[in-house]
Amino acid sequence: MARNPEPSAKLASKLPIYSRAIDWESFYEKYPLPDVFAEGMYKWPAERVRALQNQRFLEVMAVGWSNPFYRNRWRQAGLEPGEIRSLNDIGKLPTFNSDDIKNDQQEHPPYGAMAGINLKEHMASSPVKLQTSGGTTGKPRMTLQGMVEWEMGALNTARSLYLMGARPGDIMQIPSTCSLANLGWAFYKACHDYLGVMPITTGSGVVTPTRRQLEVAFDCGVNCWVSFPEYLIRLAKASPEELGRDIRELKTKFILTFLGPDTEGTLRAEIEELWGCPVYDNYGTNEIGEGAFECRHKSGLHFMEDLNYFEILDSETNQPVTPGAIGNLVVTVFHRRVQPIIRFNLRDLARMVSTETCGCGSNFRRMDHFLGRSDNMVRMRGVNVYPMACLPAIKSDPRTTGEWLCEATVAERDGLAREELIVHVEHRGKTAAGSLDGLKKHLEARLKTDLGVSVEVKLVPEGGLDQVASLGEGKANRLIDRRPAYQKKN
């Protein structure tokens, strides 16, 4: 019987094998691994960081001029190649937003001219993955992730986790489903590929019910978590009921979450009290991944400066705001070549809190917590109201659960139509928090001060907003606009 010949070492696969599709040594030299980054680039002087940003900005500008989406927009703005000579000239470039991405994808389906690649040809040599936005402001927009883009989503997340204290041997539970949204994927890969941390991808409560989430955590000795505040609070409160155990028995090392406009620290304090561990904030989006994060000093969110350049622009004039003022975050991503991102107006509200050296030794600029979305603004009687700005007021009284939903509507008073803002607020009930006397009046007064407009508060029992506000493992919905003009437009 003839023997099969031994395979020849000279025979090489022509498939786009992931491990061979990139020069890893060069990749990690350009984008340092978490521990190398923490002691190196992260602590560079501000002037050296700026020089690196300038170099990478010019590199991505060359990519932009070869991309039909940007080339057409820039020429319509009267620009020609070579006019943008440094990062100092970035203000000459027009911004764009998610509406422009959606329009581009409608005109050039399904991925848009912005993708910048012939997908079939590109995939012959390099893997590509599709992710989408969360769809909280409409139909999810598609984002192609090439090899570098996909890997950077994990690496920059791993950097932030390392700076928060994640180390080999830790176990992180990730109650976020690995789906078209990138949160679950980014943290799974960050732990598994870069930190020696075991990821437990339990997925959302639909995939793994709360009781089972808790059982897994206690059985496996989970000591790190990433999830949304609402679900972290729910887990902590459910643990004694479901298992007869205090969540603090886990001896959690730290939690990474998304605190939103918790400017007074009440939400953070509540979670830290329930869990008995430090809680760190972070900020990211579908297109940029982990854009900003807190170090252990909790003195603002560090921009990931070697990978992105962030601006804060006035939401109406699109011009830079004065130091400390609130405006829209606009980002340029240096490493993206597939679907490049150059002056993307995220329409997320933020303000700079420091450009000075942090106590951790980093000179990366720091922003405040995410303060809401400018496109989720409600204009009530001439005043701009941001639903997320309700958080400090709602958290100011322990009789609330900390959950709320704004409802914009039109009511008729004395024969005249008048815009009204109703804020539905969950309460804990009389037995749990004492009398509810004065709570409605207190919240209405505080919200009028914080929002600059009078509102009506309607108290609802705990759990009453679960469905309508989509509370749980994902982003909560904080606004329903029932005004006829808005409904007709949408």
Mean pLDDT of 242-261: 96
Instruction: Give strand pairing partners of 363.
Output: none
User: Residue 346 above 60 pLDDT?
Assistant: yes
Instruction: Give residue 28's pLDDT.
Output: 97
Q: What share of the chain is helix, strand, coil (3-state, %, to 5)?
A: 35, 20, 40
Instruction: Give residue 298's pLDDT.
Output: 97
User: Residue 476 above 80 pLDDT?
Assistant: no
Among the listed residues 373, 357, 192, the one whose alpha carbon sits nearest the alpha carbon of residue 283: 373
List pLDDT tens digits, range 273-284: 999 999 999 999
Asked if 422 and 409 count as a contact pair (C-beta separation under 8 A), the reply is: yes
Instruction: Give residue 487's pLDDT.
Output: 47
Instruction: Give residue 376's pLDDT.
Output: 76
User: Residue 434 above 70 pLDDT?
Assistant: no
Instruction: Give residue 314's pLDDT.
Output: 93
Full set of structural domains in the chain with CATH? 16-301 (3.40.50.12780), 377-489 (3.30.300.30)
DSSP letters, 357-407, are PPTTS--S-EE-----BGGG-EEETTEEE-GGGGHHHHTTSTTEEEEEEEE
Class of residue 169 by CB neighbours under 10 A (exposed 0-12, middle 13-18, buried 19+):
exposed
**pLDDT-wise least confident of 93-97, 193-197, 300-304, 474-478:** 474-478
Question: What tokens does 3 get?
Answer: 């023997």
Place of tokens 């932030």: 160
Q: What is the DSSP letter of 96?
A: B
Q: What is the pTM of this model?
A: 0.83
Instruction: Give residue 470's pLDDT.
Output: 60
Q: pLDDT grade, residue 472 (50/70/90)?
A: low
Q: Cα(376)–Cα(478) distance, rounded to whole angstroms?
A: 9
Instruction: Give residue 490's pLDDT.
Output: 44
Provide the mean pLDDT of the chain. Answer: 91
Asked if 386 and 263 count as a contact pair (C-beta separation under 8 A), the reply is: no
Kindly give the pairing relationship between strand 171-173 and strand 224-226. Answer: parallel
List pLDDT tens digits, range 68-111: 999 999 999 999 999 999 999 999 999 999 999 999 999 999 99
Q: pLDDT grade, residue 489 (50/70/90)?
A: very low
Q: Cα(117)–Cα(338) distance, rounded to whole angstroms?
A: 7
Q: Cα(305)–Cα(293) distance, rounded to whole angstroms?
A: 11
Sequence-distant (6+) residues with CB within 8 A of 247 are 214, 235, 236, 239, 274, 275, 276
Roughly what angle, to the nearest 10 degrees, separates helices 266-275 and 229-243?
Answer: 30
The number of beta carbons lying within 10 Å of the beta carbon of residue 346 is 24
